[in-house]
C-alpha cells in the first residue's frame, strides 16, 4: 500500500510537465518553463495567512517572486501534532522547527511584508480594502 501511495504521489502532477520542470531534487524550487509571466507581482498577506498558504508565501519570499503587501503572516505553518485531552477535546500545535530559505526561524515569526499596509477602521467602514488598493498599484 505504501509503495502504491508513493507511486501516486510521484505521478500526481505529471500532467503539469509543460508548465514546470518537475525533475527537481533536494527541495529546490522548480524552474518555470516558457511561456511564463514576466510582469510585476504583488501578494497580499497578513495574519490570516497560515499553514499551506504561508508555505507558499515562504517560497515567494525566498525566491523574490514579488512584493509582499500588507502585514506579517501568522508564523504557524508545518505539520500539526494533535493531543487528546479530557472532555473529548483535542489540542493541536505545530511540532516542527520550520526555517526560511536563509535558515532563519519561521515558526512564531512569520513573513514580514516588503510593502507594509494596515487595514484601518475608516477604510473598513467606507468599504475599502487598503491592502488590495496598494497591491493593485504595485
Closest CA to 117 of 40, 43, 39, 21: 43
Judge if 58 and 115 occupy the same domain: yes
Identify the CATH number of the domain in which residue 54 sits: 3.90.226.10
pLDDT for 4: 45
pLDDT for 20: 47
Closest CA to 59 of 10, 111, 20: 111
Domain of residue 106, residue span: 39-137
pLDDT for 26: 56
Judge if 31 and 78 occupy the same domain: no
pLDDT for 89: 94
Judge if 26 and 69 occupy the same domain: no
Judge if 45 and 27 occupy the same domain: no
Buried b (16+ CB within 10 A) or exposed e, 89-117: eeeeebeeebeeeeeeebeeebbebbbeb
pLDDT for 8: 45
pLDDT for 127: 97
Domain count, the chain: 2
Compute mean pLDDT per 10 residues along the chain, 138 residues long, and list them.
44 50 55 78 95 91 94 88 91 83 90 96 96 93
φ and ψ of 135, to 5 deg: -65, -40
Judge if 117 and 60 occupy the same domain: yes
Judge if 50 and 31 occupy the same domain: no
Amino acid at each position: 500500500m505504501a509503495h502504491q501511495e508513493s507511486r501516486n504521489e510521484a505521478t500526481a502532477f505529471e500532467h503539469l510537465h509543460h508548465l514546470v520542470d518537475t525533475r527537481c531534487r533536494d527541495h529546490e524550487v522548480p524552474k518555470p518553463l516558457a511561456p511564463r509571466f514576466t510582469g510585476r507581482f504583488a501578494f497580499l498577506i497578513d495574519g490570516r495567512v497560515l499553514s499551506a498558504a504561508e508555505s507558499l508565501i515562504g517560497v515567494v519570499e525566498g525566491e523574490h517572486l514579488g512584493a509582499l503587501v500588507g502585514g506579517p503572516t501568522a508564523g504557524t505553518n508545518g505539520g500539526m501534532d494533535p493531543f487528546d485531552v479530557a472532555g473529548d477535546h483535542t489540542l493541536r500545535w505545530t511540532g516542527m522547527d520550520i526555517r526560511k530559505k536563509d535558515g532563519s526561524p519561521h515558526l512564531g515569526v512569520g513573513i514580514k511584508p516588503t510593502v507594509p499596509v494596515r487595514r484601518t477602521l475608516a477604510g473598513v467602514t467606507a468599504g475599502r480594502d487598503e491592502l488590495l488598493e496598494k497591491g493593485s498599484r504595485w
